[in-house]
Homo-oligomer: A and B are copies of this chain.
Amino acid sequence: MLVNIRNLDLADRPAWERLWHGYVKFYRRRVDADVTDFTFARLWDPGSQPFGIVAADEAGRLLGIAHYLFRPTTWSRLDLCYLEDLFVDPGARGSGVGRSLINEVYSRADKRGVSGVYWLTQEFNADGRALYDTLARRTSFIRYQR
């Protein structure tokens, strides 16, 4: 399958929202409509973080989304790139969409100059980790949260 990766566009709103809701549901969470509005506005605006990219098939149908940002770190003069969200339409899995999205984030991070690219995933996310293990190192770090 030919996958086209590009910036999230204002016209993507309905298709993005369908994937975003799938992503939120994957985590058994809920996000209020005003947060979805606010988040889409920031993702779409190239002047504010986080940034949004999408994967589309040849017909222009959205297959996946990724949201990322850059943040300072005490460990380097260069920022770190954090991939906050990644979601691929369940019907399009296994065809390289997730990999293409991550590679695009890598490429943008490299262009900017960073000291690393990272993301978090639930340790029991077997499908995701099967892909991530081919693209990145699983570290020993776990997340604590209040």
Which A residues fall within an 8 A CB radius of B?
26-29, 31, 34-35, 38-39, 42-43, 48-50, 67, 69, 71-77, 82, 84-85, 99, 106, 116-126, 129-146
Partner of A74, one of B26, B85, B116: B85
Instruction: List 5 extra interface pairs beyond A27-B133, A142-B142, CB under 8 A.
Output: A43-B74, A50-B74, A116-B145, A121-B142, A133-B140
Interface SS of chain A? mixed
- Given known pairs A42-B72, A126-B126, the reply for A121 and B137 (CB within 8 Å) is no
Flag if A117 contacts B138 (CB, 8 Å): no
A129 to B64, CA, bound (A): 24
